Amino acid sequence: MDGGSDAAQTDKLRLCPKATDVDPTGPMKRVRTTQTVLSLAQRCLSGLLLLVVMVAASWADATGVVALREASQALAGASLRQVPVIVEHIEAAGKESALPLFEAMLAGNLYYQRADNRIVITRQTEGGDYAIRDAVTGESLGVVAKKSIRKVKVNNRLRSQLRATIARLTLFSANVSWRKSAATNLLNNLSADNVALLQEARAVESDAGVAELIDTALALHTLKTSTDRKIRLRALEVLDGSLQPTVRNQLLNLTEVDAQGQYREADAVVRTRAARFLARIDGKIKFFGFLETLFFGLSLGSVLLLIAIGLAITFGVMGVINMAHGELMMLGAYTTYVVQLLLPNHLEYSLLIAVPAAFLVSGSVGILIERSVIRFLHGRPLETLLATFGISLILQQTVRSVFSPLNRQVATPEWMSGSLEINSIFSLTYNRLYIFLFALLLFCALQLVLNHTSLGLNVRAVSQNRDMARAIGIRTDWVDALTFGLGSGIAGIAGVALSQLTNVGPNLGQAYIIDSFMVVVFGGVGNLWGTLVGGLSLGVANKFLEPTTGAVLAKILVLVFIVLFIQKRPRGLFPQQGRAAE
């Protein structure tokens, strides 16, 4: 879920009244049920957020709208006794499109306007007024004072009815992902009512994934309530291999001893079986935890690869470390920002446009730097290092003056947000996944350019022996400029990728640059494979060290490791061959 909907979600949650506000005089038990109701409501809210967005689109359905409006209109001024019937009518009339209304009602945000009895969903503003929108169409109706609207009354009985209605609507919806999230919600909040509903749903469920979830939920319930050993063991079998956290908790509960030293589970057969399944689940969790760390490591590694690959090209060919590389990357990130600013309605394509745009912007700035400064410092790598550092300061300050020193917001397109869910404990976020694939793609493209084009041939010739290359007619100064432009352009592309992972600000370039130097030093500049291996292995090493040592210490350890490593291989894993090597 992207940042914007997260904010909307917290907004919603904040508006849920606390349990004690709802019923301050009620007995403890009731307060507790209210809390569960509310926590269910919150879970539903978060789980169904996507659903609400989708429903907003289907609100346009005109016939449904009329029926739903008619049915819901009855809520205005209705007595508590009438409401349950009205709710049933609304459900019949609106089906899934009535979900936002029910959600709001459950959260206590459903009001009607005194003037025209229109049913509205409210959100309290900071000033204490209410921002309202139509409960049927979702159309925003502005901000009104509290006295011009009236709350649709809800009591606890109604809340459980609403809860059941919402569960039913989603559980029997035509949309698989809604059903899935509804089933997951119910799995985590099992009660007798839910079980009946689940059994009903199971009979008609066609999707294997959702059916499995429901089976798990039902098995959990059986395990908890049944006393027949045979039935319970069969239920346990169903739970085998499930990665739902609730299942693990339940199994853990079966194997633990309580404060008196007694096993919570009296039946020894069930207990040992549960322990065996628990061990199997823990093994799986460990395995997927390992995969997750690996994924994060590869993701960090791919970012390092993206950054370091441009550095490695310029360093390999010209023997020059470009200290402004980070800032060229920053320019790429800002290009993304500008592209999105210019094309606010084409967010989906913004990255596709930003990639070549950033390549051109950073690449031409790179060529400008090479032509105006670096070529005068030829053969003096240390001076080049200082001069490019000066350029990095100038670029940073330019961006600060032009765009402001504050971070800019770069939006994530829909297709890059969210995550690929493998199972309930392991999912890959799309942005990291795409960036990883993109880095590999870029690597392959560069390999092709360097090994199968005439530019690549020239570049390799110059990097191996500059004088000889010139003697056979290669225009080395042009090769230098193009190489520098290529390296810088790739930095720009890396900037586009980074804009999807971190904040875009004037200091963007500084954050990763030393790490990417390390990649170049570690990998060597003999060929690009060094950068690939160096980047990925440093990324993975960092992420695997982090849980035991903490992020900072992990970074320090990696740095120390590299210092020691270059004792053995002073020129990295893949050292440069030929005259330029010393």
Please select the residue that binds other proteins; options are 3, 77, 390, 578, rule is CB under 8 A: 390
Please select the residue that binds other proteins; options are 50, 566, 573, 580, rule is CB under 8 A: 566
* CA 355 – CA 361 distance, rounded (Å): 10
Distances (CA, A) of 6 to 28, 42, 46, 49, 487: 32, 13, 9, 9, 37
Q: Rule CB under 8 A: is residue 438 a binding residue for other proteins?
A: no
Q: Rule CB under 8 A: is residue 378 a binding residue for other proteins?
A: no
Q: Rule CB under 8 A: is residue 406 a binding residue for other proteins?
A: no
* CA 558 – CA 563 distance, rounded (Å): 9
CA angle 488, 415, 285 (to 5 degrees): 100
Please select the residue that binds other proteins; options are 57, 208, 402, 552, rule is CB under 8 A: 552
Q: Which range in 56-64, 84-92, 270-278, 568-576 contacts other proteins by CB under 8 A?
A: 568-576
C-beta of residue 112 within 8 angstroms of C-beta of residue 120: yes
Q: Rule CB under 8 A: is residue 541 a binding residue for other proteins?
A: no
Q: Rule CB under 8 A: is residue 392 a binding residue for other proteins?
A: yes
* CA 94 – CA 96 distance, rounded (Å): 6
* CA 516 – CA 535 distance, rounded (Å): 8
Max CA separation in the chain (angstroms) = 97
Nearest by Cα to 243 from 293, 292, 179: 292
* Residue number with CB closer to other proteins (275 or 541): 541
Number of residues that bind other proteins (CB under 8 A): 46
Q: Rule CB under 8 A: is residue 529 a binding residue for other proteins?
A: no
Q: Which range in 86-94, 378-386, 438-446, 447-455 contacts other proteins by CB under 8 A?
A: 378-386
As given in the structure block, the two tokens for residue 207 are 């999707």
- DSSP lists the bridge partners of residue 428 as 420
Please select the residue that binds other proteins; options are 319, 418, 456, 575, rule is CB under 8 A: 319
Please select the residue that binds other proteins; options are 287, 376, 415, 478, rule is CB under 8 A: 376
Radius of gyration of the chain (CA): 31
Least spacing, CB of residue 513 vs other proteins, in Å = 9
Q: Rule CB under 8 A: is residue 386 a binding residue for other proteins?
A: yes
Q: Which range in 45-53, 296-304, 429-437, 567-575 contacts other proteins by CB under 8 A?
A: 567-575
Q: Which of residues 142-201 bind other proteins (CB under 8 A)?
A: none
Q: Rule CB under 8 A: is residue 391 a binding residue for other proteins?
A: yes
φ, ψ for residue 408 (rounded to 5)?
-105, 150
Residue 243 DSSP SS3: coil
Chain-centre distance for alpha carbon 395 = 31
Can you give the binding site for other proteins, defined by CB under 8 A? 315, 319-321, 323, 373, 376-377, 380-387, 389-394, 396-398, 400-401, 514, 517-518, 520-521, 552-553, 555-556, 559-560, 562-564, 566-568, 570-571
